[in-house]
Every structure is written in C-alpha cells, then in structure tokens.
C-alpha cells in the first residue's frame, strides 16, 4: 500500500469531517426553524459558499477522472464535451433566479417537492417527485462512492471495502450531524482543494514535461485521429449538442442542485455567484479535461482510461504531493454525495413523512427524525456500495437524465408560466420520467442524440399542451406565486 | 389571456422575467461558441490540415479555450447591464410608488 499517497488523502478527509461536525453548533443556535436550518442553511449563504456548494454538488469524480480518462482514449473531441458544463452554474442561478428565492420564502419551501406541491397541489406530483429523488439520487450516490473507492484502490492499494467505509462513514456522519450548513462549508473547502490540486498539477506538468506544443506534435504523429473532430470516438455535432442540453441546462432539474437556488442570502449574493460560477467551473473543467489527450504520448499503454490522470499525477510528482492532488477527485465525490444525501433525506422527512404519514409531528420529533433518516439512509447507501458495483458511469448518466427529464419542465414552467396547471405538471413529470426510461431501454440514442433530448422535449410539450386544454390554476395559487400581497 | 385573474402583480417579478430571458440568451450564446466554433473550424478536417495554436489544435484553442474565456466574461456584462438588486423578502413592503403596507 502506498502510504505516502494515502496519508494526505486521509488527513484531508479527517479535517473535512471535523469541520462538518463543528456546524452542529449552528443548528443548535439557529434563529429560524430547524427544517429551514437543516435543509437550506437558514437561507443565509454568501456568494463564495453558494458558488462552491452549487458547483461541487454537480461536479463529481466524473470531471476529474472519467472525462480526462475518455479524452485519453478518444482525444480532444472528448475534452470539449467536458466544456458543456462550464456555463451551467450561471445558467441555473440565472434561470431560477430571484423569483425562485422569493417564492420559496413565501411558501416556506425547503425542498423542490415543497415548491411543486404548492404550485400544482397534486399528491401524485409530491409522491412521484419524492420517489424519483430517492431512487435516482440513491443510485447516484452508490455510483459515486463506488467510483471514488475504486479509483483509490487502483492508485494506492487501499482495499475497496475499507475505502468505502472510511469515506462513506465520514460523509454520512458530518451530513447527518451538521446539515446543510456543514455540507455547504465543507463543499467550499472541497472546492478550494480541487482548485489547488489543479494548480499544483499544472505547475508540475509544465515543469516535468515538454508542454503542450511538444506533446501534441507527438500525438499528431502517433495518434493523428486524437486531434481531430469527431476524433477516435463518435462525437457527431448532434451528440455534442445534446450534451450541451443535458449538462448545460437540463440539470436544473436535479433536486440537489436546484435546492441551492433557495438557500442564498440576498440578490447581491446571486449576482456575484453568477459571475464566480463561470470562472470556477471553467477552472475545474479546463484544468483536468484538457490533460487527457496529452497523457497519451507520455504513457501510451494505460489500459483503463480512468487511470490515465492518476498515472500522470503519480508519474510527475512525489507521492505525498500526488496524494494532495488526488484529494481533489475524492473531495469532488464527497461534496456531491453529501448534497444528495441531504436532498434524499429531506424528501423522506419533509415530502413523504410530514405530508402523508404524520402532518402533526412536533418540531422536536422532526428534528430527531431528520438526523436519524439522514444517518440511516446514508448507512444503507454505504452498505449497498460494499457490494462491488460495475456500470458506474452508466448509472450516473442514467440518474442525471432521469432526474432532469422528471423535474425540469415542472420547475421552470411552474415558476414562470401562469398557465402551467396541475394536469400539465403531472403529465410533464410522468411523461418525462417514463419516456426517458423507455427510450433509454429500447431505443437508446435515437437519431444519434442523447435520449434526454427526446424525453425533455416530450415533457415540455406535454406541459404546454395539457395545461392549455385543462382548467387554469386557481386564483389563490397564482396570487401566491405572482401576486403583490 | 390570464387577465381573468385580475391580479395585482408583485412589481419585482417583471425584472425577474427579464433576468431569466437574459440568462437563456447567455446559455445559447455559450452553446453557439463552445459548440459552433469547433464544429465550423474542425469538423471532419483531417489531422494533417489541422494547425496548432499555442500547442492546441486550432479548433480546440479558439472554440474551447478562447470560448471559455468569453463565456466567463459575459456574466459580468449580464449582471452589470441587466440584473438589478432587489429585496428577496416574501412580500416587498416598499412598493415602486412608495406605498406602505
């Protein structure tokens, strides 16, 4: 086992864990209700933390490991798919915008389902939305943990199960104990670690290798297709375009991302965060994905693409420094999982238990229940991850597509279109979800585009068509979402 | 069409709608640059015709890297000229005309 590499990663995990636990005190000293503090941090995030927690919830080990890995195999045409997410943070914040922040304060929403419930007044939306959240985010978390532990095992020799336990237990504990504020602040720390990791990596890369010009010229000789578009893979204009739809805008439908649009302090925070989001997402993406193709001339014989970047890191720097840089993908995994864990537990406690099982539960009981559900659900996910997983990348893309198709139209149309009504909401949600599952299963990638193009289009069209032919929403609803008082 | 609600709207939401459309425009500009430029410059161009700019294939350099710089600068302009600061309180007590609740 490579202790010099693993030690910095473990120390880093431990520090995050301690910082996360510390935020239990802000839960105890809260001024607002427990739910508001635990699930949206008292709606009090500033620009830096908002930016990092939003981006870190979305950026996972995929950005640091899988994208460079595929770019190692396919070439620059795959690096450019990583770039589809750069504008995402700014797009999410701008599209949901202040309207989302104001409305969620009006209706005391702390989850996406809260918002949909008040807007559409339909149990099938609340139940369907919660179940989709729990199912897809649960699967997503398993894939994340598994991906992180698998990489760690390959690089350092740390046993897969031991890795899952160490990272799983620390993430689950600090999320359950510290709630949203712990998640956001640790996300910010993790985001800074990702940037520092990227900078160290680039400095060492420039010092130890001949730089891009030399490496790319070598690449043109050995693997000429890797500098071309579509490249060694099959990156058609249509496929790349559908990635822009999926990773650039449709991911607004991801509940653990969208909920961050409820959590910031004031409009200045939003403005600054929109500006920071582009820059920081740009740094994350460019730093790592661009290195994929040029690892090829340096290490031509890596068999698994995912190991390309770790191989480079350990090849050009001493083990302890490599460990610091490799903390970046681990940080990305942890910061994604903690947000998702909180979103699922809020779905269970708020959306299902409080709405349908026991609406009269006391605040004290809800407090206890939130801790316990977060802990238990987290533990279940960790235990499931102990069973070795295959198909990791498949699960991730599947879950993103499923959630985006389910939630995008109801959230965005519900927020901005007065005509969107209950039946439009229900059909767009279920058509989005089921068309995604069916098309993905039986006709994957129709016309060379990602399935989400079709499920999202169907979902939006059914929202408009059904809303137009069924009765308009009630005055009370519209007044609550648009009215002056 | 929805005048039947006879609703007095919160004046902040007009500005919110504008900001939403500006963001959508930003999103499409981002797609046009990051997707369009590489496709126009490099799609199906054989490797021996690809020039290198600062070590990168030129379609990647201009579309990907210069494009990224542009879409990182655009939000500054967006915020400066289109976005307005406002209260996020559930109901704005200070109305445009200065009415008091």
Task: Please give the average per-residue pLDDT across A128-141, as a whole number.
Answer: 90
Task: Please give the average per-residue pLDDT across A66-85, as a whole number.
Answer: 90
Point out the residue among A244, A268, A282 whose CB comes nearest to the CB of B31. Answer: A244
Decide if A237 and B34 are in contact by the 8 Å CB cutoff: no
B56 touches chain A (CB under 8 A): yes
Q: What's the CA gap between A247 and A413, in Å, rounded?
A: 19
ipTM for the predicted complex: 0.91
A153 pLDDT tier (thresholds 50, 70, 90):
confident
- Mean of per-residue pLDDT scores for chain A: 90
Winning range, highest mean pLDDT, from A13-22, A46-55, A210-219, B91-100: A46-55
Return the closest-CA partner of residue A401 out of A391, A393, A412: A393
User: For position A333, what pLDDT does the model report?
Assistant: 87
Q: In this structure, what DSSP letter does residue B53 have?
A: E
First-last CA distance in chain A = 64
User: For position B19, what pLDDT does the model report?
Assistant: 97
A222 touches chain B (CB under 8 A): no
A444 pLDDT tier (thresholds 50, 70, 90):
confident
- For chain A, give the percent of residues with pLDDT over 90: 50
In angstroms, the separation between the Cα of residue B23 and the nearest Cα of chain A is 5
Q: Give the burial class of A350: count Cβ atoms within 10 A of its Cβ; 0-12 exposed, 13-18 middle, 19 or more buried.
A: buried
Decide if A229 and B45 are in contact by the 8 Å CB cutoff: yes
Q: What's the CA gap between B35 and A245, in Å, rounded?
A: 11
Task: Please state the pTM of the whole predicted model.
Answer: 0.92
User: For position A390, what pLDDT does the model report?
Assistant: 65
- Per residue in A296-315, pLDDT (tens digit) is 999 999 888 888 999 999 99
User: For position A331, what pLDDT does the model report?
Assistant: 85
In angstroms, the separation between the Cα of residue B95 and the nearest Cα of chain A is 9
Decide if B9 and A212 are in contact by the 8 Å CB cutoff: no
DSSP A211-276: HHHHHHHHHHHH-GGGGSBSTTTT--HHHHHHHHHHHHTGGGG-HHHHGGGGSBS-HHHHHHHHHH
A266 touches chain B (CB under 8 A): yes
Return the closest-CA partner of residue A468 out of B4, B65, B2: B2
Look at residue A393 and tell me whether its pLDDT is greater than 80. Answer: no
DSSP A413-429: HHHH-TT--HHHHHHHH
Q: How many CB atoms lie within 10 A of CB B10?
A: 22
- Per residue in A262-278, pLDDT (tens digit) is 999 999 999 999 999 99
Q: What's the CA gap between A217 and A321, in Å, rounded?
A: 29
User: For position A239, what pLDDT does the model report?
Assistant: 87
Q: How many CB atoms lie within 10 A of CB A71?
A: 31
- Interaxial angle between packed helices A452-469 and A392-416, expressed in degrees from 0 to 180 and rounded to the nearest 10: 30
Look at residue A447 and tell me whether its pLDDT is greater than 90. Answer: no
Do A439 and A405 meet the contact criterion of CB atoms below 8 Å apart? no
Dihedral (CA of A28, A31, A36, A40) sign: negative
B98 pLDDT tier (thresholds 50, 70, 90):
very low
- A408 CB-side CA count, 13 A: 29
- Per residue in B1-11, pLDDT (tens digit) is 455 677 888 99
């Amino acid at each position: 086992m490579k202790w010099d590499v693993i030690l910095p990663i473990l120390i880093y995990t431990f520090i995050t864990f301690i910082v996360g636990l510390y935020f239990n005190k802000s839960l105890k000293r809260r001024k607002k209700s427990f739910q508001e503090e635990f699930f949206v941090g008292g709606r009090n995030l500033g620009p830096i933390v908002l930016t990092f927690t939003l981006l870190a919830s979305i950026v996972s080990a995929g950005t640091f490991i899988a994208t460079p890995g595929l770019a190692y195999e396919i070439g620059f045409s795959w690096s450019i798919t990583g770039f589809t997410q750069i504008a995402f943070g700014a797009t999410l914040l701008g599209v949901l915008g202040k309207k989302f922040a104001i409305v969620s304060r009006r209706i005391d929403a702390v989850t996406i389902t809260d918002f949909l419930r008040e807007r559409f007044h339909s149990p099938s939306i609340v139940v369907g939305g919660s179940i989709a959240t729990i199912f897809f985010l649960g699967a997503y978390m398993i894939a994340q943990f598994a991906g992180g532990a698998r990489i760690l095992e390959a690089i350092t020799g740390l046993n897969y199960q031991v890795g899952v336990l160490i990272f799983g237990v620390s993430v689950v504990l600090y999320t359950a104990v510290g709630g949203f504020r712990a998640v956001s602040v640790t996300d910010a720390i993790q985001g800074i670690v990702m940037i520092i990791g990227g900078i160290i990596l680039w400095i060492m890369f420039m010092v130890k290798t001949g730089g891009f010009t030399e490496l790319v010229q070598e690449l043109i000789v050995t693997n000429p297709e890797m500098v071309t578009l579509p490249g060694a893979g099959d990156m058609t204009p249509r496929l790349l375009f559908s990635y822009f739809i999926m990773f650039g805008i449709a991911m607004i439908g991801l509940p653990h991302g969208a909920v961050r649009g409820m959590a910031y302090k004031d409009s200045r925070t939003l403005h600054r965060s929109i500006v920071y989001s582009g820059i920081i997402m740009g740094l994350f993406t460019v730093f790592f994905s661009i290195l994929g193709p040029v690892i090829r001339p340096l290490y031509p014989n890596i068999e698994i693409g995912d190991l390309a970047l770790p191989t480079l890191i350990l090849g050009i720097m001493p083990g302890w420094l490599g460990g610091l840089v490799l903390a970046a993908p681990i940080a990305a995994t942890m910061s994604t999982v903690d947000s998702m864990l909180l979103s699922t537990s809020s779905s269970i406690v708020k959306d299902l238990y409080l709405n349908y099982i026991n609406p009269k539960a006391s605040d004290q009981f809800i407090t206890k229940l939130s801790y316990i559900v977060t802990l238990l659900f987290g533990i279940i996910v960790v235990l499931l991850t102990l069973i070795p997983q295959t198909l990791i990348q498949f699960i991730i893309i599947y879950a993103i597509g499923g959630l985006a198709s389910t939630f995008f139209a109801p959230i965005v149309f519900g927020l901005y279109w007065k005509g969107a009504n209950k039946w439009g909401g229900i059909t767009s949600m279920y058509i989005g979800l089921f068309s995604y599952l069916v098309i993905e299963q039986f006709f994957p990638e129709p016309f060379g585009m990602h399935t989400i193009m079709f499920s999202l289009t169907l979902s939006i069209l059914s929202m408009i068509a059904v809303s137009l032919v069924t009765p308009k929403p009630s005055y009370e609803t519209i007044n609550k979402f648009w009215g002056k008082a | 069409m929805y005048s039947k609600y006879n609703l007095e709207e919160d004046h902040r939401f007009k500005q919110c709608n504008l900001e939403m459309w500006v963001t959508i425009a930003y999103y499409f500009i981002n797609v046009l640059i990051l997707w369009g430029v590489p496709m126009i410059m490099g799609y199906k161009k054989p490797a021996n015709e690809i020039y290198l700019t600062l070590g990168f294939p030129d379609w990647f350099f201009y579309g990907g890297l210069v494009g990224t710089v542009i879409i990182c600068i655009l939000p500054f302009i967006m915020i400066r000229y289109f976005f307005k600061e406002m209260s996020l309180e559930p109901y704005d007590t200070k109305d445009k005309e200065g009415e008091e609740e």
